């Protein structure tokens, strides 16, 4: 099934894999030219990027490795998607494809939509965001506050059972009936990955050049690809571990139900290439919840769903990592958009089953229960 990127068509129905999993064989033709800087920005958009890299001392205290987190939720729109959203809009404007008053249409589970909504309202553009029932109520409220139009796809694709394919079909329909509309197509747009050349450059600079392992979640594969391009082009020894969801097909897994947005995909994105990651690690929705709650309890980080997945992925392989190694985790977004899901015991029990006692939260406020103290 083709996907429009601008006015070109790109195939998205290829199977993907890594290592010993049968799938894609696409390989890089050349070393890419790195994009580590955007044109100078003004206003709130100038705050995108340069997010902090902080040491995590309590998450895996018994493991002799150095763990750092890149807090992408410190971007003004609240997630790592601020970077590619701005890059795609800026590139389209520079190419004359977008002007004030023009319409942007995109499919997103939340964070990319918010990043685009932020850029669109700043540049005077209109936005239609195609979402599915997994989009959180908080994200939908934020989008409406930015002035975006919400287009909800209520039923999955009948042939695949996946919502992403249905959302992409809906985007094509909307583009067809809105002449001149621009579809950034985050799943195939190279500007998505190019935005993360700068992300990796910031990590390397903050870590003084030593990054032995990089853990980042995969969905469109923009973050993984962009960081991998930077590593490859600079001859770094960093090993990149891509974190995928159980039920995602990106790395050749069986398609299955996924409830927590932000990582994993029902298609293999065109941005995927076989060489990008040294290894992929799958994390279930329940493991994702556990990771988020442990980050809150031990590091005081109210992390979003995919951030919890990245943390658990490190825990799964930490005993295979050489002592003294430096591991960097990219935390894509924050947890206040997941208070009704990841941090709500009732939702977790209903959808994922029982939860570990040590990570139970108060159903009313979505924060860890703390024993009452006597004074």
> Is residue 67 within a helix (H) or strand (E), and if so which, with residue range?
strand 66-71
pTM of the model: 0.86
E strand or H helix at 245, and its extent?
strand 239-245
Q: Coil, helix or strand for 44?
A: helix
Chain segment 103-152, per-residue pLDDT in tens: 999 999 789 999 999 999 999 999 999 999 988 888 999 999 999 999 99
pLDDT one-digit tens code per residue, 72-109 = 999 999 999 999 999 999 999 999 999 999 999 999 97
Residue 249: what pLDDT? Answer: 94
Q: Is the pLDDT of residue 12 over 50?
A: no
> Per-residue pLDDT tens for 253-300?
888 989 998 899 988 999 999 899 999 999 999 999 999 999 999 999
Distance CA(307)–CA(126), nearest Å, equals: 30
Rounded to the nearest integer, the mean pLDDT of the chain is: 87
* Confidence grade of residue 159 (pLDDT, cut at 50, 70, 90): confident
User: In terms of DSSP H, where are the helices of the chain?
Assistant: 82-94, 111-123, 137-145, 163-177, 190-206, 222-233, 285-299, 305-317, 345-352
Residue ranges covered by each domain of the chain? 7-75+189-354, 81-177
Cross-strand pairs, 5: 8
Matching CATH topology for 7-75+189-354 and 81-177? yes
pLDDT in tens, 33-73: 676 666 678 899 999 999 999 999 999 999 999 999 999 99
143-155 tens-digit pLDDT:
999 999 999 999 9
- Number of Cβ within 10 Å of residue 122's Cβ equals 16
Buried b (16+ CB within 10 A) or exposed e, 69-82: bbbbbbbebbbbbb
Cα-based distances in Å from 317 to 66, 167, 211, 281: 14, 34, 16, 9
Give the largest CA-CA distance in the chain. 68
* H-only helix segments in 249-344: 285-299, 305-317
At residue 194, the 3 state secondary structure works out as helix
Helical axes 222-233 vs 190-206, angle rounded to 10°: 60
Model confidence over 196-212: pLDDT tens digits? 999 999 999 999 999 99
Nearest to 243 by CA among 268, 218, 266, 260: 218
CA 68 and chain centroid, separation = 18
Rounded to 5 degrees, φ, ψ at 24 are: -60, 150
Candidate CATH numbers 3.40.50.1100, 1.10.10.10, 3.40.1160.10, 3.40.50.800; the one for domain 7-75+189-354: 3.40.50.1100
Candidate CATH numbers 3.40.50.300, 3.40.50.1100, 2.40.50.140, 3.90.470.20; the one for domain 81-177: 3.40.50.1100
């Amino acid at each position: 099934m083709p996907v429009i990127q601008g006015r070109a068509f790109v195939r998205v129905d290829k199977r993907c894999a890594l290592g010993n999993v049968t799938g894609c064989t696409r390989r890089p033709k050349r070393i890419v030219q790195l994009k580590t800087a955007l044109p100078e920005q003004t206003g709130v958009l100038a705050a995108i990027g340069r997010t902090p890299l902080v040491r995590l001392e309590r998450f895996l205290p018994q493991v002799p490795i150095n763990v750092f987190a890149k807090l992408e939720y410190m971007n003004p729109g609240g997630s790592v998607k601020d970077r590619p959203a701005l890059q795609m809009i800026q590139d389209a404007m520079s190419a004359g494809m977008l002007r004030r008053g023009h319409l942007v249409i995109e499919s997103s589970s939340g964070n990319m939509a918010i990043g685009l909504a932020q850029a669109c309202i700043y540049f005077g553009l209109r936005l239609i965001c195609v979402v599915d029932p997994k989009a959180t109520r908080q994200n939908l409220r934020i989008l409406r506050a930015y002035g975006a139009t919400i287009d909800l796809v209520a039923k999955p694709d009948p042939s695949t059972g996946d919502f992403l394919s249905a959302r992409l079909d809906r985007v094509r329909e909307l583009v067809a009936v809105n002449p001149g509309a621009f579809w950034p197509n985050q799943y195939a747009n190279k500007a998505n990955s190019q935005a993360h050349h700068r992300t990796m450059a910031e990590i390397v600079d903050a870590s003084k050049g030593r990054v032995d392992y990089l853990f980042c979640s995969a969905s469109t594969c923009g973050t993984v690809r962009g960081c991998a391009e930077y590593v490859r082009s600079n001859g770094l020894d960093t090993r990149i571990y891509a974190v995928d969801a159980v039920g995602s097909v990106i790395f050749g897994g069986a398609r299955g139900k996924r409830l927590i947005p932000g990582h994993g995909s029902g298609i293999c994105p065109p941005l995927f290439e076989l060489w990008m990651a040294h290894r992929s690690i799958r994390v279930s929705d329940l493991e994702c919840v556990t990771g988020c709650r442990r980050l809150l309890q031990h590091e005081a980080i109210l992390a979003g769903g995919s951030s919890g997945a990245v943390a658990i992925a490190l825990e799964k392989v930490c005993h295979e990592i050489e002592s003294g190694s430096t591991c960097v985790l990219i935390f894509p977004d924050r947890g206040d958009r997941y208070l009704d899901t990841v941090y709500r015991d009732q939702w977790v029990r209903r959808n994922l089953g029982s939860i570990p006692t040590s990570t139970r939260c108060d159903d009313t406020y979505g924060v860890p229960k703390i024993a009452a103290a006597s004074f």
